[in-house]
Amino acid sequence: MLESHSFSVKTGGLCDIIDITGHVARIISGSKMKSGLVNIFVAGSTASISTMEFEPNLVKDMKEALEKIAPENKTYHHKETWHDDNGFSHVRATLMKPEITVPFENKKLVLGMWQQIILLDFDERPRNREIRVTVLGE
């Protein structure tokens, strides 16, 4: 059986990292399925979905690591095409990927004790991100 859901998240942009575990858990608990897989996907080329231990200092560490990998203040060739300054956003999102799949059992996400599902918005401005959640199971 397959179910499709969605929800929106307002972000602040510039590497805003938001815990969306509760949104996904509510979808699973309201699902007709007891066990299976849930796919969480963000549409757009400047945001990603991942997992991490969502605590303030690790969020800072993640932002610092991404700044080293794809610095905001570097000139990107993307600007030559669209004349905008969010090339770093696209590089970060490409490396991080737009979706993850997580198992669930007995209507509960199978995550590690300190593991949460996160949305990362890398764009240079606040956005309203649409998250698609596809539940596959029985």
Contacts of 113 (CB under 8 A, 6+ apart): none
pLDDT of residue 83: 87
Contacts of 58 (CB under 8 A, 6+ apart): 52
Q: What letter represents residue 33's amino acid?
A: M
Q: Domain of residue 76: give its range.
A: 2-137
pLDDT of residue 80: 87
Tell me the pLDDT tens digit for each residue of 34-78: 999 999 999 999 999 999 999 999 999 999 999 999 999 999 998
Say which CATH number the domain at 95 has: 2.60.120.460
Taking residues 1-12, report their average pLDDT: 98
pLDDT at 82 over 90: no
**Confidence bin at 137 (pLDDT 50/70/90):** very high
Residue 113 gets which letter from DSSP?
Answer: T
For 29-82, strand residue ranges (E) read 36-42, 47-52
pLDDT of residue 22: 98
Residue 111 near residue 21, CB atoms below 8 Å: yes
What is the number of structural domains in the chain?
A: 1
Q: How far is Cα 109 from Cα 28, in angstroms, rounded to an integer? A: 8
Tell me the pLDDT tens digit for each residue of 98-118: 999 999 999 999 999 999 999
CB atoms within 10 A of CB 94: 14
